Amino acid sequence: MSLRRSQKVCEQGSTWIKPSFLWMMYRCGWAEKAGQETVLAIEITRDGFEWALRHACLSSYVRGLHPDLSTWQRSLKRAPARVQWDPERDLHLHPLTYRSLRLGLSGEAVRRYADEWMVAISDVTPLAREVHGLVSRGELVAAAGLLPQERPYPAADELLAALRP
């Protein structure tokens, strides 16, 4: 990735790694929301993702998990990554009963993301539009068959212990 691209990402302040294809479709309205008409899938290294998790803080205070509010606030301010747990989505983009991790990057994590972790970038906008068309016509089996294969991330318990609410 060029230095110019890295600088652009860093100047914007932060970026988020979204949990899944359908969560992304919820967020961008099937690539129809203004300013979100293009959807890119970005593949990053496992080492990079796990570096971000090791340096992350939950985006909200959890009594019992954090010693106290002020300690959590200091940790959040210093952390180059933050974790939110968002409901997964079904084909109609309704929330499901389970949540997926969403990872926000800032500062050093954004620089590493742009310069070191990215492995591949692909435009999945045509897929988003095709799946949306099938869902709109009620062809849910066909739509589900086009979804990217997604599996739970095999993270070690100690990697997520401080990040589970």
CB-count burial class (<10 Å; 0-12, 13-18, 19+) for 94: exposed
In this predicted model, what pLDDT tens digit does every residue of 116-137 receive, in sequence order? 999 999 999 999 999 999 999 9
Q: How confident is the model at residue 84 (pLDDT cuts 50, 70, 90)?
A: very high
* H/E segment holding residue 126: helix 125-136
| pTM, to two decimals | 0.84
